[in-house]
Amino acid sequence: MVAGEQARMAVLQLTCPACGGGLSLTPAQIGGRAAIECEYCGTSVLVPGGALSQQAGPAAAPEPAQQPAYPDQGVSQGRRGWGVLLTVLLVSGAGIAASWFAEGRSVIPGHPIPSQQSYAHQTLIFGGKGTGPGLLNDPSDIAIDSRGGIWVADYKDGRISGFDAKGNFVRQMHVPEDTYGNNGIEGLAVDDAGHLFVARGGRILTFNTANGKLVGAPIGAFPNFYNRPEVDASGQLRALTRSSGDYALVTLDARGHVVRAIKNVISGVDKEEDTAGVMDFAVDGLGEVYVSNLFGDRVYHYDAKGTYVDRFGADGTGPGHIHDPQGIAVDGKDRVSLLEYTEVDQFDSAGTYLGHITWDHQQGAGNAMAVDRSGAVYVVTDAGKVLKFQLAKE
Protein backbone atom coordinates (compact mmCIF):
# COMPACT_ATOMS: atom_id res chain seq x y z
CA MET A 1 0.00 0.00 0.00
CA VAL A 2 1.43 3.38 -0.98
CA ALA A 3 1.91 6.18 1.53
CA GLY A 4 -1.08 8.17 0.22
CA GLU A 5 -3.45 5.21 0.66
CA GLN A 6 -2.13 4.51 4.15
CA ALA A 7 -2.82 8.12 5.10
CA ARG A 8 -6.34 8.00 3.70
CA MET A 9 -7.10 4.75 5.55
CA ALA A 10 -5.64 5.97 8.87
CA VAL A 11 -8.03 6.09 11.82
CA LEU A 12 -8.34 9.07 14.15
CA GLN A 13 -9.01 7.97 17.73
CA LEU A 14 -11.11 10.42 19.80
CA THR A 15 -12.68 10.15 23.23
CA CYS A 16 -15.93 11.94 24.07
CA PRO A 17 -15.24 14.05 27.19
CA ALA A 18 -18.95 13.92 28.13
CA CYS A 19 -19.62 10.16 28.21
CA GLY A 20 -16.14 8.67 27.70
CA GLY A 21 -17.16 6.87 24.52
CA GLY A 22 -14.39 5.93 22.09
CA LEU A 23 -14.75 7.27 18.56
CA SER A 24 -12.77 5.74 15.67
CA LEU A 25 -13.08 7.77 12.48
CA THR A 26 -11.24 8.06 9.21
CA PRO A 27 -10.54 11.49 7.69
CA ALA A 28 -13.13 10.68 5.03
CA GLN A 29 -15.79 10.16 7.71
CA ILE A 30 -14.89 13.45 9.39
CA GLY A 31 -14.93 15.24 6.05
CA GLY A 32 -12.99 18.29 7.16
CA ARG A 33 -15.46 19.22 9.91
CA ALA A 34 -14.25 21.08 12.98
CA ALA A 35 -16.42 18.90 15.24
CA ILE A 36 -18.23 15.59 15.08
CA GLU A 37 -21.20 14.28 17.06
CA CYS A 38 -20.65 11.51 19.61
CA GLU A 39 -22.65 8.48 18.47
CA TYR A 40 -23.40 7.52 22.08
CA CYS A 41 -24.60 10.74 23.73
CA GLY A 42 -24.84 13.31 20.91
CA THR A 43 -22.27 15.69 22.39
CA SER A 44 -20.22 17.72 19.90
CA VAL A 45 -16.56 16.67 20.06
CA LEU A 46 -13.97 19.03 18.61
CA VAL A 47 -11.48 17.57 16.15
CA PRO A 48 -7.93 18.46 17.27
CA GLY A 49 -6.20 20.98 15.03
CA GLY A 50 -3.78 19.42 12.57
CA ALA A 51 -5.13 15.89 12.99
CA LEU A 52 -6.75 15.87 9.58
CA SER A 53 -3.86 17.47 7.76
CA GLN A 54 -1.50 14.85 9.21
CA GLN A 55 -3.66 12.00 7.92
CA ALA A 56 -4.99 13.35 4.65
CA GLY A 57 -1.98 12.35 2.53
CA PRO A 58 0.81 14.42 1.01
CA ALA A 59 0.04 18.12 0.91
CA ALA A 60 -0.33 19.70 -2.50
CA ALA A 61 2.35 22.14 -3.50
CA PRO A 62 1.28 25.68 -2.60
CA GLU A 63 0.36 27.91 -5.47
CA PRO A 64 2.56 30.97 -5.93
CA ALA A 65 1.24 33.98 -4.08
CA GLN A 66 -0.23 36.70 -6.25
CA GLN A 67 -0.24 40.37 -5.37
CA PRO A 68 -3.73 41.84 -5.75
CA ALA A 69 -4.02 44.78 -8.08
CA TYR A 70 -5.68 47.71 -6.35
CA PRO A 71 -6.25 51.01 -8.14
CA ASP A 72 -5.35 52.94 -5.00
CA GLN A 73 -2.19 52.06 -3.11
CA GLY A 74 -3.53 53.55 0.13
CA VAL A 75 -6.60 51.35 -0.04
CA SER A 76 -4.33 48.39 -0.80
CA GLN A 77 -2.30 49.02 2.34
CA GLY A 78 -5.47 49.41 4.39
CA ARG A 79 -6.99 46.19 3.16
CA ARG A 80 -3.78 44.29 3.72
CA GLY A 81 -3.77 45.69 7.26
CA TRP A 82 -7.31 44.36 7.88
CA GLY A 83 -6.21 41.05 6.35
CA VAL A 84 -3.31 40.82 8.78
CA LEU A 85 -5.63 41.65 11.70
CA LEU A 86 -8.14 39.05 10.55
CA THR A 87 -5.36 36.47 10.23
CA VAL A 88 -4.18 37.26 13.76
CA LEU A 89 -7.72 36.93 15.11
CA LEU A 90 -8.24 33.60 13.35
CA VAL A 91 -4.94 32.21 14.60
CA SER A 92 -5.69 33.45 18.11
CA GLY A 93 -9.18 31.94 17.94
CA ALA A 94 -7.72 28.61 16.84
CA GLY A 95 -5.33 28.73 19.78
CA ILE A 96 -8.19 29.43 22.17
CA ALA A 97 -10.25 26.60 20.66
CA ALA A 98 -7.30 24.22 20.99
CA SER A 99 -6.87 25.30 24.60
CA TRP A 100 -10.56 24.76 25.34
CA PHE A 101 -10.44 21.34 23.73
CA ALA A 102 -7.43 20.40 25.85
CA GLU A 103 -9.41 21.35 28.96
CA GLY A 104 -12.42 19.32 27.83
CA ARG A 105 -14.72 22.26 27.04
CA SER A 106 -16.72 22.91 23.90
CA VAL A 107 -16.92 26.20 22.03
CA ILE A 108 -20.08 25.05 20.24
CA PRO A 109 -23.19 26.68 21.78
CA GLY A 110 -25.69 24.26 23.30
CA HIS A 111 -23.17 21.41 23.59
CA PRO A 112 -21.27 21.86 26.86
CA ILE A 113 -18.50 19.37 27.54
CA PRO A 114 -17.59 18.99 31.23
CA SER A 115 -13.99 19.81 32.08
CA GLN A 116 -11.90 16.94 33.39
CA GLN A 117 -10.90 19.31 36.19
CA SER A 118 -14.52 20.19 37.03
CA TYR A 119 -16.54 19.12 40.06
CA ALA A 120 -17.53 15.77 38.54
CA HIS A 121 -17.22 13.85 35.30
CA GLN A 122 -19.57 11.47 33.53
CA THR A 123 -18.39 7.86 33.56
CA LEU A 124 -21.35 5.92 32.14
CA ILE A 125 -24.37 6.41 29.90
CA PHE A 126 -26.79 3.77 28.63
CA GLY A 127 -30.44 3.18 27.78
CA GLY A 128 -32.74 5.00 25.42
CA LYS A 129 -36.38 5.71 24.72
CA GLY A 130 -38.54 2.66 24.10
CA THR A 131 -40.34 -0.35 25.54
CA GLY A 132 -37.92 -3.09 24.55
CA PRO A 133 -35.46 -4.83 26.88
CA GLY A 134 -32.99 -2.28 28.24
CA LEU A 135 -35.01 0.71 27.00
CA LEU A 136 -37.00 3.09 29.19
CA ASN A 137 -40.30 4.62 28.18
CA ASP A 138 -41.31 6.82 31.12
CA PRO A 139 -38.69 6.39 33.88
CA SER A 140 -39.92 7.47 37.30
CA ASP A 141 -37.28 6.30 39.78
CA ILE A 142 -33.89 4.62 40.13
CA ALA A 143 -32.22 2.57 42.88
CA ILE A 144 -28.70 1.13 43.26
CA ASP A 145 -28.10 -2.12 45.13
CA SER A 146 -25.05 -3.03 47.24
CA ARG A 147 -23.34 -4.74 44.28
CA GLY A 148 -23.74 -1.77 41.98
CA GLY A 149 -26.77 -3.19 40.20
CA ILE A 150 -29.04 -0.52 38.75
CA TRP A 151 -32.84 -0.74 38.92
CA VAL A 152 -35.08 1.65 36.98
CA ALA A 153 -38.87 1.96 37.12
CA ASP A 154 -41.13 2.89 34.20
CA TYR A 155 -44.23 4.65 35.47
CA LYS A 156 -46.68 4.20 32.60
CA ASP A 157 -46.28 0.49 31.89
CA GLY A 158 -45.26 -0.76 35.32
CA ARG A 159 -41.92 -2.18 34.17
CA ILE A 160 -38.80 -2.50 36.29
CA SER A 161 -35.56 -2.92 34.36
CA GLY A 162 -32.43 -4.29 36.00
CA PHE A 163 -28.89 -3.58 34.78
CA ASP A 164 -25.47 -4.59 36.02
CA ALA A 165 -22.88 -2.04 37.17
CA LYS A 166 -21.71 -1.51 33.57
CA GLY A 167 -25.20 -0.81 32.26
CA ASN A 168 -25.81 -4.21 30.65
CA PHE A 169 -29.46 -5.27 30.69
CA VAL A 170 -30.07 -8.18 33.10
CA ARG A 171 -33.74 -8.59 33.96
CA GLN A 172 -37.21 -7.11 33.53
CA MET A 173 -40.10 -7.33 35.99
CA HIS A 174 -43.73 -6.31 35.61
CA VAL A 175 -45.68 -4.80 38.49
CA PRO A 176 -49.22 -6.22 38.70
CA GLU A 177 -52.18 -3.86 38.55
CA ASP A 178 -54.15 -3.00 41.67
CA THR A 179 -57.93 -3.36 41.92
CA TYR A 180 -58.35 -0.08 40.03
CA GLY A 181 -56.16 -1.16 37.10
CA ASN A 182 -53.24 0.98 38.22
CA ASN A 183 -49.64 -0.22 38.02
CA GLY A 184 -47.85 3.14 37.93
CA ILE A 185 -44.62 3.03 39.94
CA GLU A 186 -44.11 5.93 42.36
CA GLY A 187 -40.81 4.88 43.90
CA LEU A 188 -38.11 2.22 44.30
CA ALA A 189 -35.78 1.11 47.08
CA VAL A 190 -33.49 -1.88 47.51
CA ASP A 191 -31.93 -3.48 50.58
CA ASP A 192 -28.84 -5.63 51.17
CA ALA A 193 -30.91 -8.82 51.37
CA GLY A 194 -31.92 -8.57 47.70
CA HIS A 195 -35.38 -7.10 48.22
CA LEU A 196 -36.70 -4.47 45.85
CA PHE A 197 -39.48 -2.32 47.35
CA VAL A 198 -41.88 -0.82 44.82
CA ALA A 199 -44.49 1.83 45.61
CA ARG A 200 -47.62 1.31 43.50
CA GLY A 201 -51.05 2.77 44.14
CA GLY A 202 -50.27 3.67 47.74
CA ARG A 203 -48.97 0.21 48.62
CA ILE A 204 -45.44 -1.15 48.72
CA LEU A 205 -44.75 -4.40 46.89
CA THR A 206 -41.64 -6.48 47.59
CA PHE A 207 -39.75 -8.32 44.84
CA ASN A 208 -36.83 -10.72 44.97
CA THR A 209 -34.14 -9.19 42.74
CA ALA A 210 -32.60 -12.62 42.04
CA ASN A 211 -35.67 -14.07 40.31
CA GLY A 212 -38.05 -11.13 39.90
CA LYS A 213 -40.83 -12.74 41.95
CA LEU A 214 -43.16 -11.06 44.43
CA VAL A 215 -42.48 -11.71 48.11
CA GLY A 216 -45.24 -11.56 50.74
CA ALA A 217 -48.29 -9.33 50.88
CA PRO A 218 -48.39 -5.63 49.88
CA ILE A 219 -47.55 -3.18 52.66
CA GLY A 220 -50.09 -0.47 53.41
CA ALA A 221 -53.86 -0.10 53.26
CA PHE A 222 -56.38 2.68 53.70
CA PRO A 223 -55.88 5.18 55.30
CA ASN A 224 -52.10 4.56 55.25
CA PHE A 225 -51.09 4.84 51.59
CA TYR A 226 -47.33 4.91 51.07
CA ASN A 227 -44.99 6.18 48.38
CA ARG A 228 -41.29 7.08 47.90
CA PRO A 229 -39.80 4.13 49.88
CA GLU A 230 -36.23 4.26 51.17
CA VAL A 231 -34.13 1.77 53.12
CA ASP A 232 -31.88 3.13 55.87
CA ALA A 233 -28.47 1.81 56.92
CA SER A 234 -30.04 -0.46 59.54
CA GLY A 235 -32.27 -2.09 56.93
CA GLN A 236 -35.48 -0.44 58.08
CA LEU A 237 -38.00 0.63 55.48
CA ARG A 238 -39.02 4.30 55.42
CA ALA A 239 -41.84 5.82 53.37
CA LEU A 240 -43.94 8.94 52.91
CA THR A 241 -47.66 8.92 53.54
CA ARG A 242 -50.05 11.77 52.82
CA SER A 243 -52.83 12.82 55.16
CA SER A 244 -54.64 16.04 56.05
CA GLY A 245 -53.00 17.95 53.20
CA ASP A 246 -49.41 17.23 54.26
CA TYR A 247 -46.96 14.36 54.35
CA ALA A 248 -45.82 12.23 57.25
CA LEU A 249 -42.58 10.26 57.17
CA VAL A 250 -42.95 6.79 58.67
CA THR A 251 -40.61 3.97 59.65
CA LEU A 252 -41.97 0.45 59.12
CA ASP A 253 -41.02 -2.86 60.70
CA ALA A 254 -40.62 -6.15 58.85
CA ARG A 255 -44.40 -6.73 58.92
CA GLY A 256 -45.17 -3.27 57.57
CA HIS A 257 -46.35 -1.79 60.86
CA VAL A 258 -45.53 1.85 61.65
CA VAL A 259 -43.00 2.07 64.49
CA ARG A 260 -42.18 5.79 64.20
CA ALA A 261 -43.69 8.78 62.39
CA ILE A 262 -42.73 12.38 61.73
CA LYS A 263 -46.01 14.16 61.09
CA ASN A 264 -46.43 17.26 58.94
CA VAL A 265 -42.78 17.23 57.91
CA ILE A 266 -43.09 20.55 56.06
CA SER A 267 -46.18 22.36 57.39
CA GLY A 268 -44.99 21.67 60.92
CA VAL A 269 -42.05 23.96 60.12
CA ASP A 270 -43.35 26.20 57.29
CA LYS A 271 -47.11 26.64 57.45
CA GLU A 272 -47.15 28.75 54.29
CA GLU A 273 -45.13 26.31 52.20
CA ASP A 274 -46.95 24.73 49.22
CA THR A 275 -47.12 20.97 49.85
CA ALA A 276 -49.17 20.06 46.77
CA GLY A 277 -46.08 18.86 44.89
CA VAL A 278 -44.35 15.51 45.13
CA MET A 279 -42.03 15.28 48.08
CA ASP A 280 -38.91 13.17 48.38
CA PHE A 281 -36.54 12.30 51.20
CA ALA A 282 -33.20 10.64 51.86
CA VAL A 283 -31.70 8.97 54.93
CA ASP A 284 -28.02 9.15 55.90
CA GLY A 285 -25.92 6.50 57.65
CA LEU A 286 -26.94 7.74 61.11
CA GLY A 287 -30.66 7.59 60.34
CA GLU A 288 -31.05 11.34 59.92
CA VAL A 289 -33.53 12.48 57.28
CA TYR A 290 -33.44 15.20 54.61
CA VAL A 291 -36.72 16.17 52.94
CA SER A 292 -37.30 18.12 49.71
CA ASN A 293 -40.47 19.43 48.08
CA LEU A 294 -41.09 19.80 44.34
CA PHE A 295 -42.75 23.21 44.78
CA GLY A 296 -40.39 24.36 47.51
CA ASP A 297 -36.95 25.86 47.76
CA ARG A 298 -35.72 24.39 51.04
CA VAL A 299 -34.39 21.15 52.49
CA TYR A 300 -35.68 20.08 55.92
CA HIS A 301 -33.35 18.16 58.24
CA TYR A 302 -34.57 15.81 61.00
CA ASP A 303 -32.43 13.74 63.35
CA ALA A 304 -32.73 9.96 63.83
CA LYS A 305 -35.38 10.44 66.55
CA GLY A 306 -37.57 12.52 64.26
CA THR A 307 -36.76 15.86 65.85
CA TYR A 308 -36.52 18.84 63.54
CA VAL A 309 -32.93 20.13 63.31
CA ASP A 310 -32.73 22.83 60.67
CA ARG A 311 -33.54 23.81 57.10
CA PHE A 312 -31.53 25.37 54.30
CA GLY A 313 -31.99 26.74 50.81
CA ALA A 314 -33.30 29.74 48.92
CA ASP A 315 -35.33 29.97 45.72
CA GLY A 316 -33.38 30.66 42.55
CA THR A 317 -31.40 29.11 39.73
CA GLY A 318 -27.90 30.32 40.60
CA PRO A 319 -25.21 28.35 42.45
CA GLY A 320 -26.42 27.27 45.86
CA HIS A 321 -30.08 28.05 45.13
CA ILE A 322 -32.91 25.51 44.96
CA HIS A 323 -35.70 25.54 42.38
CA ASP A 324 -38.30 22.78 41.90
CA PRO A 325 -36.16 19.82 42.98
CA GLN A 326 -37.14 16.52 41.36
CA GLY A 327 -35.40 14.38 43.93
CA ILE A 328 -32.94 14.20 46.81
CA ALA A 329 -30.20 11.78 47.88
CA VAL A 330 -27.47 11.69 50.52
CA ASP A 331 -24.21 9.75 50.32
CA GLY A 332 -21.88 8.24 52.92
CA LYS A 333 -20.04 11.53 53.39
CA ASP A 334 -23.24 13.44 54.20
CA ARG A 335 -23.33 15.23 50.86
CA VAL A 336 -26.92 16.15 50.09
CA SER A 337 -27.70 16.03 46.35
CA LEU A 338 -30.69 17.77 44.76
CA LEU A 339 -31.83 17.00 41.22
CA GLU A 340 -33.00 20.05 39.24
CA TYR A 341 -33.72 19.67 35.50
CA THR A 342 -30.27 19.12 33.91
CA GLU A 343 -28.07 19.46 36.97
CA VAL A 344 -27.48 18.09 40.44
CA ASP A 345 -26.51 20.55 43.19
CA GLN A 346 -24.63 19.25 46.20
CA PHE A 347 -24.56 20.64 49.75
CA ASP A 348 -23.08 19.49 53.02
CA SER A 349 -25.38 18.50 55.87
CA ALA A 350 -25.43 22.11 57.16
CA GLY A 351 -26.52 23.48 53.78
CA THR A 352 -23.17 24.83 52.54
CA TYR A 353 -23.04 24.69 48.76
CA LEU A 354 -20.32 22.34 47.46
CA GLY A 355 -20.72 22.28 43.69
CA HIS A 356 -22.88 20.98 40.88
CA ILE A 357 -23.02 18.28 38.25
CA THR A 358 -24.44 19.07 34.82
CA TRP A 359 -24.85 17.34 31.47
CA ASP A 360 -25.82 18.01 27.87
CA HIS A 361 -29.54 18.79 27.54
CA GLN A 362 -29.75 16.33 24.63
CA GLN A 363 -29.40 13.53 27.19
CA GLY A 364 -32.72 14.64 28.69
CA ALA A 365 -33.96 16.29 31.87
CA GLY A 366 -33.55 14.40 35.12
CA ASN A 367 -36.58 12.51 36.43
CA ALA A 368 -34.96 10.78 39.41
CA MET A 369 -31.62 10.32 41.11
CA ALA A 370 -29.72 7.92 43.37
CA VAL A 371 -26.23 7.60 44.87
CA ASP A 372 -24.16 4.49 45.51
CA ARG A 373 -21.83 3.70 48.39
CA SER A 374 -18.81 5.17 46.61
CA GLY A 375 -20.54 8.55 46.28
CA ALA A 376 -21.24 8.20 42.54
CA VAL A 377 -24.41 9.95 41.38
CA TYR A 378 -26.91 8.30 39.01
CA VAL A 379 -29.59 10.19 37.10
CA VAL A 380 -32.36 8.77 34.91
CA THR A 381 -33.74 11.23 32.36
CA ASP A 382 -36.95 11.72 30.42
CA ALA A 383 -35.00 10.63 27.31
CA GLY A 384 -34.70 7.15 28.81
CA LYS A 385 -30.99 7.56 29.55
CA VAL A 386 -29.18 6.54 32.72
CA LEU A 387 -26.19 8.76 33.51
CA LYS A 388 -23.48 8.08 36.08
CA PHE A 389 -21.15 10.73 37.51
CA GLN A 390 -18.10 10.40 39.71
CA LEU A 391 -16.90 13.33 41.77
CA ALA A 392 -13.48 14.54 40.63
CA LYS A 393 -12.01 14.45 44.13
CA GLU A 394 -13.17 10.93 44.96
Integer angstrom CA distances of residue 227 from 204, 272, 282, 318: 7, 23, 13, 31
Average pLDDT, the chain: 79
> What's the confidence (pLDDT) of residue 280?
93
Does residue 228 carry a pLDDT above 70?
yes
If you average pLDDT over residues 261-267, what whole number do you get?
90
**Residue 361: is it exposed, middle or buried by C-beta count within 10 angstroms (0-12/13-18/19+)?**
middle
Kindly report, residue by residue over 292-323, the tens digit of the pLDDT. Answer: 988 888 999 999 999 999 999 988 888 889 98
Kindly report, residue by residue over 31-66, the tens digit of the pLDDT. Answer: 667 777 766 556 677 777 544 433 334 334 444 444
pTM attached to this predicted model: 0.71
Predicted confidence band of residue 223 (pLDDT cuts 50, 70, 90): confident
Do 200 and 184 meet the contact criterion of CB atoms below 8 Å apart?
yes
> What's the confidence (pLDDT) of residue 222?
79
What is the rounded end-to-end Cα distance, in angstroms, of the chain?
A: 48
Residues of the chain with CATH 2.120.10.30: 127-391
The 3-state secondary structure of 320-344 reads CCECCCCEEEECCCCCEEEEECCEE
CATH architecture of the domain with range 127-391: 6 Propeller (2.120)
Q: Please name which of 199, 191, 372 lies closest in space to residue 280, comparing C-alpha atoms.
A: 199
